[in-house]
Structure 1
Amino acid sequence: MELQTNQEHNIKEQSSWKVWWALTRPHTLTAAFVPVFIGTALALPYTNINSSLFIIMLLACLIIQAATNMINEYYDFKRGLDHEGSVGIGGAIVRHGIQPKTVITLAFFLFGIATILGVYICMQTSWWLAIIGTICMAAGYFYTGGPVPIAYTPFGEMVAGLFMGNIIILLSYYVQTSTITVESVLISMPISILVGAILLANNIRDLDGDKENGRKTLAILVGRKRAIMVLAGMFIVSYLWVIVLIGLKIASPWLLLVLLSIPKPIQATKGFIGKTIPLQMMPAMKATAQTNTIFGLLLSIGLVLAYFI
């Protein structure tokens, strides 16, 4: 009877919505919606915002990010990187007994939904976006899938920053304005850097385990101390970039609002110094993700204020 009760409890736990929600790795989803907000805010001076396109673009990006996280979970499990003690994972497979096949099937199902949303966006704008959307989903898959996953190389930060920073901002801007400007490209750069910083922070945390499993991440190649210095440098460049754009009168002084987020990157950098145990570095990892979120939202607010005031 006790065994049956435990089995029923496990089944109930596995079917809990919290397990599936954790599988999406919700703390990473800000890297999807912040760029959409920024790209749309950038479009304000040039067009009347199409709210339907904004919402659908936002949903598509969130869904692709969630699917990418599930693919990450699936392949890290298949390659033996994830176990019950792993931090920063959804844990659906190793902790809650969800079948790996279910996880990867759900990921491709979400890609299918994103494709349908993308078709609608293309119908309203340009079919050239279908090519870009396909490349984005392919990048999401090959980030941890395929014979040579991007995440296992020194280029993970750059690829993540490009697709989750520059490209999403520019796509969000394009679907509203049907054009790309130098201003939109330049303003997208600090977000690209900060998205890359999230991946670097993740790789600093996982450095020892990744090294044991044969990964060649940037953090492994330069070493923990230098990786923390690179992370700090990425934070500094992001803020200086905005200041320079304002100094060159490419951006509004309202964008100085991003300076209010400075305590977070300081917290993140200090949180990594002297730490080697992954669990000890989780607050620093969280602060890095919060830097991108708060910086991005303040940047969006600055763009909106620059338009209305």
Structure 2
Amino acid sequence: MTKGTTLRLNMMISTLLKSIRLPFLVLAPVCVFLASSLVIYEQTNLNYVVLILALLGGLFAQISVNALNEYLDFTSGLDAMTKRTAFSGGSGALIEAPEMKNWVLYVALLSLLVTITIGVFFYYVRGPIIFVYGILGIFLILAYTRWLNKSALACLIAPGLGFGTIMVTGCHFALSGMHTSGSLFAGFVVFFLTNNLLLLNQFPDIDADQQVGRNHMAIRYGVVTATKVYSLFAILAALTLLIAIISKSLPPLTAIALLPLSAGIYCFYGCKKYGKSLGDKPLYLAVNTIITLLVPVIIATSLLLS
């Protein structure tokens, strides 16, 4: 292999890894960890082959939506307008290597095909209810960037449906064959957290997003209203966890997760103070990301220890 060929291959691999947003893929395993921990807590037999398939399904679904978002943001011109941060604005990989755009699209479609194949397996194992989760998941992957971003409400709740409803509650059903109050409550906690994750990450991109026709919460109603929605969802996440504990759907030890949840106050302060300039203060976005990841991990670990 010549030096030129090696350099090109390295460039291709680097571009594809950036386009799937590798550092953000941790969220899918976190959701599956929460679902599987709940199954173990509920003393339901856990098939580890099925668990691995569920994990792969979640990972490839997230890869598909990330890569498709990268491709569409590049072709729409949004990538060229965005001021990137570590948490928003995409990877910028295709700005550096525009000739790779079709490869990124192929990765998105191939990942979606793998996800659908795994979904077919679960359909035969668990029956038609899995079909509902699958159709919703495919719709979210294909519609998020192209259509859902044009509706403030749809864009707001799409992340929560994907990670909370599908990857926590749906994965729990795929692993156990049943729905429980615990899986519903855990799904709702992640629902509110992931909605808030994407909501704050949209603040730095408001001007660029508006130019390409997006109409998410911060554009449609302004940063003041979006900040209020953030605080509401943070409160609802905490209340959901408390109700789950009081109703004995989740064990008392999971209350430890209220500690990182309280850090949402810090993020709320950042939203109120900096608004559209939040991207210049990435610590607030970092803390919000840590909350989203740490709370489900703490709940899952608490379930295993209870």
Q: Per the shorter chain, which TM-score range?
A: 0.7 to 0.9
CA distance in 2, matches of 1:196, 1:61: 17
TM-score where L is the length of structure 2 = 0.87
Does 2:50 correspond to 1:53?
yes
| RMSD, aligned α-carbons | 2.5
Maintained 8 Å contact 1:67/1:110: yes
CA distance in 1, matches of 2:163, 2:188: 11
Maintained 8 Å contact 1:23/1:70: yes
TM-score where L is the length of structure 1 = 0.86
Does 2:288 correspond to 1:288?
yes
Maintained 8 Å contact 1:264/1:290: no
| Cα separation, partners in 2 of 1:180 and 1:85, compared to 1, 3 Å | closer
Structure 1 residue aligned with 2:107: 106
What one-letter code is carried by the residue in structure 2 that aligns with 1:274? Y
| Cα separation, partners in 2 of 1:13 and 1:183, compared to 1, 3 Å | closer
CA distance in 2, matches of 1:138, 1:80: 24
Maintained 8 Å contact 1:239/1:259: yes
Matches within 5 A, 1:110-189: 110-145=111-146, 149-154=147-152, 155-189=154-188
Unmatched runs of 5 consecutive residues or more in structure 1: none
Maintained 8 Å contact 1:67/1:108: yes
Residue 10 of structure 1: how far off its partner (Å):
7.4
| Cα separation, partners in 2 of 1:128 and 1:250, compared to 1, 3 Å | closer
What one-letter code is carried by the residue in structure 1 that aligns with 2:230? L
| Cα separation, partners in 2 of 1:304 and 1:92, compared to 1, 3 Å | same
Structure 1 residue aligned with 2:74: 77
Q: Secondary structure at the match of 1:220?
A: helix
Deviations 1:116-166 (A, max 9, x none): 222333343325424532331221111113xxx102211212122122212
Deviations 1:19-39 (A, max 9, x none): 322211134323322221222
Structure 1 stretch displaced more, 38-47 or 57-66: 38-47
CA distance in 1, matches of 2:162, 2:125: 22
Q: Secondary structure at the match of 2:304?
A: helix
| Cα separation, partners in 2 of 1:137 and 1:282, compared to 1, 3 Å | farther
| Cα separation, partners in 2 of 1:193 and 1:85, compared to 1, 3 Å | closer
Structure 1 residue aligned with 2:298: 298
Q: Secondary structure at the match of 1:102?
A: helix
CA distance in 2, matches of 1:74, 1:279: 23
Q: Secondary structure at the match of 1:93?
A: helix
Percent pairwise identity: 22
Structure 2 residue aligned with 1:41: 37
Maintained 8 Å contact 1:207/1:224: no
Deviations 1:34-53 (A, max 9, x none): 22122212212241111111
Structure 1 stretch displaced more, 212-221 or 120-129: 120-129
CA distance in 2, matches of 1:249, 1:124: 29
Maintained 8 Å contact 1:271/1:283: no
CA distance in 2, matches of 1:173, 1:47: 10
Structure 1 stretch displaced more, 24-33 or 126-135: 126-135
Maintained 8 Å contact 2:19/2:67: yes
What is the count of residue pairs matched by the alignment?
Answer: 297
Does 2:19 correspond to 1:20?
no
CA distance in 2, matches of 1:179, 1:245: 18
| Cα separation, partners in 2 of 1:122 and 1:176, compared to 1, 3 Å | same
Matches within 5 A, 1:228-247: 228-247=227-246
| Cα separation, partners in 2 of 1:109 and 1:264, compared to 1, 3 Å | same
Residue 80 of structure 1: how far off its partner (Å):
1.6
Residue 73 of structure 1: how far off its partner (Å):
1.0
| Cα separation, partners in 2 of 1:215 and 1:80, compared to 1, 3 Å | same
Unmatched runs of 5 consecutive residues or more in structure 2: none
Residue 296 of structure 1: how far off its partner (Å):
0.7
Residue 263 of structure 1: how far off its partner (Å):
5.9
What one-letter code is carried by the residue in structure 1 that aligns with 2:257? V
Maintained 8 Å contact 1:28/1:289: no
Q: Secondary structure at the match of 2:229?
A: helix
Q: Secondary structure at the match of 2:215?
A: coil
